[in-house]
Structures are given as structure tokens and as C-alpha cells.
Structure 1
Amino acid sequence: MGEQERGEIAPRTVVSYWCLNGHETRPSFAAVEQVEPPEHWDCPRCGFPAGQDAANPPAPLRNEPYKTHLAYVKERRSEEDGAALLEEALATLRDRRSGGLATMR
């Protein structure tokens, strides 16, 4: 009944993928001559990447730990640069405060 309503099903091809844990995943793709199935597929059981070579599955991606803004700043600036910037900012703040108190009186 479904084929009468929707038409014939497109030809499909099934590709096997294996992850590092040995899980096999077999998604099906439309059999189109110009399009190749993807090289890697995420394993639905463990989340590791899976490849088409059962003997040589891809290694899991290495996740970098979360870095704070300060960690990124420290990568770009040396301790001396940081001290100079801090001193400059403090001098600006002191100038603003001393000038602000004189105008308020």
C-alpha cells in the first residue's frame, strides 16, 4: 500500500562500519552513482567514530579540555606583558579616581 501512495522505493546500498570497540553499524544509503557513502560514521552504541575497515577502525577523537578566558590570554601574553598591562590599567584607574574626587568637591 505504501508503494502505491508514495511510489517505488529508491535503490539502497548497505555499508558496514566498525568502531574501535568492535561494534558493527550498517546504515543504508541511496544507491546513487555519483555519491560515495561517508568514510566515517558515528557508532550509535558507544559514540566512537567507525570506519569501513574492520581490521583498522579509526581512533577516537581527542577532546581538548575546556579552557577559561584567562588560559587563552596566558597563552598569548608573557608574565612581563601581563604585569605591564596591569600596571597601565591601575594607573588609568588611579588617575580617574583622583580626578573624579577633585571635581566632586
Structure 2
Amino acid sequence: MKVIFEYHDVSPSESLEAFTKEKLEPVFNRFEFVIRADVFFKTENTSSDKTGMICGIRLSAPGPRLFAEASHDEFHASVVETINELTRQLQKRKEKMKTY
């Protein structure tokens, strides 16, 4: 399990990285074929107060890479929504995988 963090217009945060790793741990345990996660944090000027803190996660697994992104008023909520979306994508991929 390898997690790489990238920040765009955001200062790095160890607590945010620890939170993200904690939330990704069950994903890596449940779907052992996932090799790596690239996590992107960025801010965006929006007209709404409920969006703007964007978290994007790209997972490396067999087949095409999986990607999900969410925008909320804080990064923690964006991380949770992004991981939920990736879990749905991983479940679909696992159902399609052939076991030999």
C-alpha cells in the first residue's frame, strides 16, 4: 500500500494525511489488488460556500485506473465522499474480475 499526496494551492497538513490514510486503510484491506493511491488536494474559488475544497483520489489496480473527486466546504467531507465513490467502483470491478 503506497499513498502519495499532492497539494495544489494548499499548504500540506499531516493531520489531513493521517485522516486520509486511516480512511483508505479499509479499502486496501478489502480490495487487496489495489496497489497505490494518489491523493490530490486543491482549492477552487466558487460562488457557493459549500464547495471549493476538492479531494481527488486515483487508485492503481489491474485494468484502467480508478478516479473519483468531490468538492465540499472542508477536505474531510471531500475525502469521505471520494472514498465512498471509489469503493463503489472497486466493488463493480471486483465483480467483473475472473478468478482462475
Normalising by structure 1, report the TM-score: 0.27
Which one has the largest radius of gyration?
1
Normalising by structure 2, report the TM-score: 0.28
- The structure, 1 or 2, with the larger RCO (C-alpha pairs under 8 Å, 6+ apart) is 2
